Structure 1
Amino acid sequence: ELLVFGGVFWEPKPDRNPFLRSHGITIPPAFWKVLVRGSDGEAIAWIIPNSVAATYDNLDQYLVPIREIEQRLGGTIPVVEDFRKDRVPEYSWQVPLGCDRS
């Protein structure tokens, strides 16, 4: 079992969004994702910039503690034991064999 939570972080001042003038829309500057593994309760989180530089090869540099996401959201991720919310793994989890990441 794997629980997946995700969302976006919006600019506090959307008029600064570069796509507003050119396309008439705002785009989020960053995305967040939290994964919780059911087998052992381990969790991992990322804040990933909305950028062409944000590739799978660079994923580890976007690892963050879950608490950082909660603070930016102003809410809680309710499924992780509190003591785990400050942990940051050294590396992202290994992609399971046969997963095409789609």
Structure 2
Amino acid sequence: MAWLLTGSILAANVVTLKKEAFTLTYDCDQRSALRYDYTLNKDTGSASRPNSYYPDPDLPVGCEGQFSGRAYASVVAGWDRGHLVTSNHMDRSANSMKQANYMSNIAPQASGFNQGIWVDAENVAECYRDVAPVRVVGGLVYDDPSNDFFLESHGIATPEYFWKVILTSEPKTGAQKAIAWLIPNTDDVGELDEYILSIEELEDRVGVSQVDISVSAAVKAMKPTRTWSLPGNCNPS
């Protein structure tokens, strides 16, 4: 399948937004982040998630944000304000939690996707951060205008796919390991295991510059047959 990457990092009006605990690669014309990147250490935070969504005050002059922070479901039922950088991963401080609720970190996600398989992927990082430091990298793929329900109300298209890569290490050996998923943004998705691919395969699908992860060829070739089992005594909350 040939995928049109309308969110290419090579686009002219793309900026890097460095927040307290994460980084976004943001397309000012699409009003959408294209990629996110952050590292998690042992979870010691407990900041509460805000109830509101906010325009990003860090967008430079001439860089457009979404028109509104109101719920996508108020326009078309069955769509959530989906986080790219997981809100729960940002509980180190009230500021990080608020930044995760900036609309620059939000895109339309099908409710079944957002509240199901996306949470499962988020929980892998949440649980493994207490075993060893975890790096989370992810992004979006836009390639079909037929579901762009929110252009008029919010100024953002609807992504067809979300991808996520988790990198960590074995605590006893220090050996690096990785897992990646490329998941369709629909309600009728299956289990996480169905969408596993290697970083190398992900680069082939969405582009090397889009993924932008510098690790060894051996790590890029890793492709677990199943999603990592969550460590014992894991509490994703």
TM-score of the alignment, normalized to the shorter chain, above 0.5? yes
Report if aligned partners of 1:45, 1:63 keep a CA contact under 8 Å in 2: yes
Q: Which has the larger radius of gyration?
A: 2
What TM-score, normalized by structure 1, do the two folds share? 0.76
Report if aligned partners of 1:17, 1:26 keep a CA contact under 8 Å in 2: no
Unpaired stretches in structure 2, ≥5 consecutive residues: 1-132
- Please state whether the residue corresponding to 2:176 is helix, strand or coil: coil
Report if aligned partners of 1:70, 1:77 keep a CA contact under 8 Å in 2: no
2:221 counterpart of 1:86: yes
| C-alpha distance after superposition, 1:16-73 (max 9, x if no partner) | 2322xx4324111001111111332011110011011235xx0000001101222322
2:156 counterpart of 1:23: no
- Counterpart for residue 3 of structure 1: 135
The number of residues matched between the two structures is: 93
- Find the aligned partners of 2:208 and 2:220 in 1 and give their Cα distance: 14
Unpaired stretches in structure 1, ≥5 consecutive residues: none
What amino acid is the match of 2:141? F
User: Percent identity at matched positions?
Assistant: 31
Once superposed, which parts of structure 1, at least 4 consecutive aligned residues long, lie more than 6 Å away? none
Cα RMSD, aligned residues only: 1.9
